[in-house]
């Protein structure tokens, strides 16, 4: 009920007011949640993005603000974007080779990103070019989870909770010529491979590499960063295709290292728009 009330309030708020209120709440949360703030600060220092304490704290604070505004953008995006006008409001920085794949019927694509920019708006925008299946995390409250999933559901965008997703469905998405969107910077516990991220080993999910070698679907790294109020730039790499050598571990590592390098470069360019507060290293 509280979530319904909050959504109703945000819906009627002008965008600028909602964004300002979100930043205000983010500042309060950053001050009060000492543990989460310290995680963000430690991660920024560990990455080498900033060594000066004042700069580190500034990036951490701006990261909390960014995430708060991301929520507002995701709630209100349907009122600003549709399949007719989105190109006028979003700057596209996509290589010609990648755009050709997005336009090619029957061509599946593995789109890999991280918690950088607005990944939810990115999936929405991409679905205007080709149907997208995106992997999500369930909210703890099942009623809230169902409410949010209903608001986010769109004609060409399918959301699948990661704990209920199965490999066969992923294979079908790629074989049907759609986009499978994955965020590959979450801690993989004991189900991943230790791969350097900003010079420190981080447990990294291997699913993208396995899907790539099974389906031969090309991999593209992409992300959507904020350039202004409800304004974005969508950036993507050229398609990546890795030739298997017969050494499964080495082949998997090659894929994951390449993707981590792309993510690192993007984070260095937009450090304030990365979710530093999640525990990438454990």
Tens digit of pLDDT for each residue in 18-32?
Answer: 999 999 999 999 999
Q: What is the token pair recorded at 39?
A: 């995680």
**pLDDT for residue 26:** 97
For residue 34, being part of any structural domain is answered with: no
C-beta separation of 105 from 98 below 8 A: no
Q: Which of 80-94, 129-143, 151-165, 210-224 has the lowest mean pLDDT?
A: 151-165
In the prediction, which pLDDT does 153 show? 63
Write the pLDDT tens digit of every residue in 198-252.
Answer: 999 999 999 999 999 999 999 999 999 999 999 999 999 999 999 999 999 999 9
**Run of H or E residues at 50:** none
Report the largest interatomic distance among the alpha carbons of the chain, rounded to a whole angstrom: 57
Position 20 in a domain: no
Report the pLDDT value the prediction gives residue 200, as an integer from 0 to 100.
Answer: 94
Helix, strand, coil share of the chain (percent; to 5) = 50, 20, 30
Beta strands 157-161 and 132-136: pairing type?
A: parallel
230 inside domain? yes
pLDDT, position 190: 75
Q: What is the distance between the alpha carbons of residues 114 and 263, in angstroms, rounded to a whole number?
A: 7
Q: Range of 158's domain?
A: 83-273
Give a yes or no: residue 78 inside a domain. no
pLDDT value for 259: 97
Asked, for residue 100, whether it belongs to a domain, the answer is yes
**Residue 267: predicted pLDDT:** 97
pLDDT at 82: 82
How confident is the model at residue 209, as a pLDDT?
95
pLDDT at residue 167 greater than cutoff 70: no
Q: Is 133 inside a domain boundary?
A: yes
The answer to the question of residue 65 being in a domain is no
**Helix-helix angle 34-47:53-80, to 10 degrees:** 110
**Res 188: pLDDT:** 86
Task: State how many domains the chain has.
Answer: 1
Beta bridge partners of 200: 197
Regarding pTM above 0.85, the answer is: yes
33-47, 150-164, 209-223: least confidently modelled range: 150-164
Cα separation of 97 and 187, whole Å?
Answer: 31
Among 98, 89, 119, 99, which residue's Cα sits nearest to residue 229?
Answer: 89
Q: Is the confidence at residue 51, as pLDDT, over 90?
A: no
Judge whether 6 lies within some domain.
Answer: no
Radius of gyration of the chain (CA): 19
Element (H, E) at 198: none
188, 184, 177: which is closest to 216 by C-alpha? Answer: 177
The 3-state DSSP class for residue 155 equals coil
pLDDT at 34: 96
In three-state secondary structure terms, 13 is: coil
Residue 177 to residue 179: CA distance in whole angstroms = 7
Neighbouring-strand partners of residue 158: 133
The alpha helices in 216-247, defined as continuous H runs, are none
pLDDT in tens, 174-186: 999 999 999 999 8
69-78: b (≥16 Cβ within 10 Å) or e: bbbbbbbbbe
């Amino acid at each position: 009920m509280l979530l319904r009330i909050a959504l109703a309030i945000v819906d009627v708020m002008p965008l600028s007011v909602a964004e300002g209120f979100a930043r205000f709440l983010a500042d309060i949360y950053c001050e009060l949640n000492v543990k989460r703030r310290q995680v963000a600060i430690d991660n920024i220092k560990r990455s080498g993005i900033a060594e000066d304490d004042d700069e580190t704290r500034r990036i951490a604070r701006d990261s909390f603000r960014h995430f708060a505004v991301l929520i507002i953008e995701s709630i209100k995006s349907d009122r600003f974007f549709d399949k007719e006008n989105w190109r006028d409001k979003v700057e596209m920085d996509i290589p010609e080779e990648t755009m050709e794949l997005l336009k090619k019927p029957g061509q599946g694509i593995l789109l890999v990103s991280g918690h950088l920019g607005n990944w939810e708006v990115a999936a929405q925008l991409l679905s205007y070019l080709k149907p997208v299946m995106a992997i999500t995390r369930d909210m703890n409250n099942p009623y809230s989870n169902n409410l949010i999933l209903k608001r986010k559901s769109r004609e060409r965008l399918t959301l699948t909770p990661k704990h209920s997703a199965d490999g066969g469905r992923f294979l079908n998405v790629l074989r049907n010529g759609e986009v499978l969107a994955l965020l590959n910077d979450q801690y993989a516990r004991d189900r991943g491979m230790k791969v350097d991220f900003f010079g420190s080993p981080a447990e990294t999910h291997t699913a993208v590499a396995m899907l790539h070698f099974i389906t031969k679907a090309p991999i593209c790294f992409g992300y959507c960063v904020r350039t202004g109020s409800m304004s974005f730039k969508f950036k993507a790499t050229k398609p990546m295709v890795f030739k298997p050598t017969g050494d499964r571990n080495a082949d998997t590592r090659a894929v994951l290292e390449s993707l981590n390098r792309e993510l690192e470069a993007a984070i260095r360019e937009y450090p304030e728009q990365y979710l530093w507060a999640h525990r990438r290293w454990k």
